[in-house]
Amino acid sequence: MGLTNHSVGINALDSALTITRRTPEDKVIALAGNPNVGKSTIFNALTGMNQHTGNWPGKTVSNAQGFCQSEKNSYVLVDIPGTYSLMAHSAEEEIARNFICFGEPDAVVVVCDATCLERNLNLVLQTMEISSRVIVCVNLMDEAGRKKIHLNLPLLSRRLGVPVVGTSARKKSTLEPLLHALDQVTAPTFTAFPAKVRYPDCIEHAIRMIEPLIEEKTGGRLNSRWLSLRLLHQDCSLLRELSGHLGEDFLRDPELLRGITLARKQLKREISSPEQWNDAVAGAIVSTAEKLCRDVVSYENSSYRKLDFAIDRLFTSRLTGFPLMLLLLAVIFWITIYGANYPSALLSDGLFFIQDRLTGLFHWLHAPSWLHGLLVLGLYRVLAWVVSVMLPPMAIFFPLFTLLEDAGYLPRIAYNLDKPFQCCRACGKQALTMCMGFLSAYPPYGFDLFFSLYWIPPTCSIRTA
C-alpha cells in the first residue's frame, strides 16, 4: 500500500513481466483500469480464479494471471495494478506502464466505470498512446441504468477509434461481447486508428522534431509519438527500461541526442518548469476526455452530475476536506477503540476461564511445573492476550474501513494528504497504512493516546499494560 520505486526495487518491476502460457498459441491480454471499477470482478468472471475482488491500494503489485477461452482463441489474462495514470509517479503506475509498453501484450482491455466515465477516460487515452490494440470495457452498466445515466457506446467507439463494449461484471452473460472483441482485436488482420490527444502547439512542434528520429531508432517496436512525449519530459525510469528493452543506451546516438536537446531548448521558451509541463499534458488529456463525454454521456436526472461534483468539492477542498477527513477518522477510531472494550472483556474472561481449567487439569495430572509454565502460562496465555486484545478492534475497524472504501472515500483521503506527504518523500496512499498503524499504538489512557498519535511512529506496536 503506497509503494515507491525505492521500496520495492527494480526486481519487483521486472518480475511483473513474467507470463505463464499453457500453450504457445495463448494470447496475452493486459487488464487495466482505475481502482474500484470492477476490474478484478471481470478477471474472476472470465478466469474463474478465486481472487480478492476488493480494491485495496497496492494489492496487485505482482500481476495476477488467469486463463480464459473464447470461441476462437485461448487467452492469458494479466490483472495489472489498478492505477489512475501511466505517468509512472509510483511503482504501481510504473509496473502498469512497463507491462503495456514492454510486456508486448496482444491486446489491452481498459475497464471503466460507466457511472463516472469521464474520469476513467484519462487512462484510456494514455493507454491508446502506447498501444493501438485497445478494447474499452465500460463496466457497471447496470449501476449506470439505475442512476439513469445513458451512454452512447457506438458513438464512443467511433470517436476513440477502438472497440467499446458494455458489461455488468456480475452477470457473466454480458462478458460474451468482450470475448468477441478480443477475438477481433487479436486477429492478425486487425488494424485500428486510435484517437490522438492534441497537446499545446509548442509540445506538438517538439514532438514532430524528434518523432522521425525515434521511429528510426526503435524500428517501430514502440509508439514513437508517445515515446517522444516521455523523452521530452525526461522520464528517467522510462530511459532505464528502454536501455534494457533495446539492449543499448537509447541516448547514445548523437543525432538523436542533438534532436532531443534542440527540441527541449525550444520547448523551454513556452514551458519552463516540470509543473508547467505536467499541467499542459494533463490538461490536454482531461480536456479531450471532457469533450468525448459531452457527446456520449447524458443524464436523465440533470442534477446528478452537479451533486457528484458538489460531493467531490466538499470532500477534497482545502476548506472542508481536512476537517471532514479528521472527523470521519476520529469517529472510526472512537468506535473501534471504545466499541472493542466490551467484546475484549468477554473474550478475556472466557479465555482465562479456560486457562484456570487447564491449570487445574495439569495439577490433577501431576504434570511438572516447567511443562505447565511452557504450555499454559507461556503459549496459551500469550495467545489468549493477543486474541482478546487484537481481534475485537480488528473486527470493528476493517469493516468500517471497507465501508469507506466502497463509498469511494479512501482515494479522497489519499488525495487530501498527498501534498503534505510529498514533503517527506511519501505519497498520499501511505496515509491509509498510517491510519491503520495508529490503532496498534493505542494505549488505554487519554494523555498517552494524545502522545501516541503525535509522537510514536505509526508503524510500531506499543501498548501499555
In a domain, 308, yes or no: no
Instruction: Report d(CA 109, CA 163) in Å as an integer.
Output: 10
At residue 17, the pLDDT reads 52
pLDDT band at 464 (very low <50, low <70, confident <90, very high): very low
Domain boundary among 152, 185, 218: 185
Helix (H) or strand (E) holding 108: strand 107-113
In a domain, 425, yes or no: yes
Instruction: Report d(CA 165, CA 117) in Å as an integer.
Output: 13
Residues 328 and 406 occupy one common structural domain: yes
Instruction: Report d(CA 184, CA 312) in Å as an integer.
Output: 38
At residue 7, the pLDDT reads 37
Domain boundary among 248, 269, 290: 269
Residues 206 and 132 occupy one common structural domain: no
- The residue among 448 and 228 whose pLDDT is bigger is 228
Residues 108 and 166 occupy one common structural domain: yes
**Average of per-residue pLDDT across 159-171:** 91
Cβ partners under 8 Å of residue 428, min gap 6: 2, 413, 414, 415, 416, 417, 418, 419, 421
How many percent of the chain have pLDDT more than 90?
29
Q: Which of 38-47, 195-204, 288-297, 412-421 has the lowest mean pLDDT?
A: 412-421
Q: Which of 183-192, 223-232, 243-252 has the lowest mean pLDDT?
A: 243-252
CB 286 within 8 A of CB 119: no
Match 501511505 to its residue by C-alpha cell. Answer: 430
Whether the pLDDT of residue 462 is over 70: the answer is: no
Q: Which of 131-145, 188-202, 215-229 has the lowest mean pLDDT?
A: 215-229
Domain boundary among 185, 213, 237: 185
In a domain, 249, yes or no: yes
Q: Which of 52-66, 75-89, 309-323, 427-441 has the lowest mean pLDDT?
A: 52-66
- The residue among 60 and 398 whose pLDDT is bigger is 398
pLDDT band at 415 (very low <50, low <70, confident <90, very high): confident
Which of 199-203, 245-249, 434-438 holds the top average pLDDT? Answer: 199-203
**Average of per-residue pLDDT across 150-158:** 95
Cell numbers at 100, concatenated: 503495456
Whether the pLDDT of residue 330 is over 50: the answer is: yes
Whether the pLDDT of residue 55 is over 70: the answer is: no
Phi, then psi, of 155 in degrees rounded to 5: -65, -40
Task: Kindly report the CATH number assigned to the domain that includes residue 158.
Answer: 3.40.50.300
Going from the C-alpha of 381 to that of each of 272, 343, 344, 373, 387, the distances in angstroms are 65, 18, 15, 10, 10
User: Range of 250's domain?
Assistant: 201-269
pLDDT band at 460 (very low <50, low <70, confident <90, very high): very low
Residues 436 and 380 occupy one common structural domain: yes
Residues 226 and 95 occupy one common structural domain: no
Please tell me the total count of domains within the chain. Answer: 3
At residue 9, the pLDDT reads 38
Residue-wise pLDDT for 86-145, tens only, equals 886 677 788 888 888 888 899 999 999 998 899 899 999 999 999 999 999 999 998 888
In a domain, 285, yes or no: no
- The residue among 178 and 406 whose pLDDT is bigger is 178
CB 442 within 8 A of CB 336: no
Residues 178 and 43 occupy one common structural domain: yes
Query: 27-58 as b/e, with b when 16 or more CB fall inside 10 Å?
Result: bbbbbbbbbbbbbbbbbbbbbebeeeeebbbb
At residue 8, the pLDDT reads 37
**Average of per-residue pLDDT across 299-311:** 75
Q: pTM score, two decimals? A: 0.72
Residues 332 and 252 occupy one common structural domain: no
Residues 138 and 44 occupy one common structural domain: yes
Residues 178 and 212 occupy one common structural domain: no
Residues 186, 49, 137, CA angle at the centre, nearest 5°?
40
- The residue among 271 and 64 whose pLDDT is bigger is 271
Residues 157 and 209 occupy one common structural domain: no
Residues in the chain: 465
Whether the pLDDT of residue 340 is over 90: the answer is: no
In a domain, 261, yes or no: yes
Residues 248 and 349 occupy one common structural domain: no
**Average of per-residue pLDDT across 380-406:** 86
At residue 306, the 3 state secondary structure works out as helix
CB 161 within 8 A of CB 192: yes
Residue-wise pLDDT for 56-95, tens only, equals 334 445 567 888 888 889 998 988 888 888 886 677 788 8
Residues 166 and 243 occupy one common structural domain: no
In a domain, 386, yes or no: yes
Instruction: Report d(CA 61, CA 96) in Å as an integer.
Output: 9
Residue type, 107: A
In a domain, 24, yes or no: yes
How many percent of the chain have pLDDT more than 70?
84
**Helices in 48-152 by DSSP H: which ranges?**
91-102, 117-130, 141-146
* Average pLDDT along the chain: 81
At residue 285, the pLDDT reads 94
Instruction: Report d(CA 284, CA 198) in Å as an integer.
Output: 7
Whether the pLDDT of residue 149 is over 60: the answer is: yes
At residue 49, the pLDDT reads 60
Whether the pLDDT of residue 258 is over 80: the answer is: yes
In a domain, 370, yes or no: yes
CA 419, 425, 429, 432 torsion: positive or negative? Answer: negative
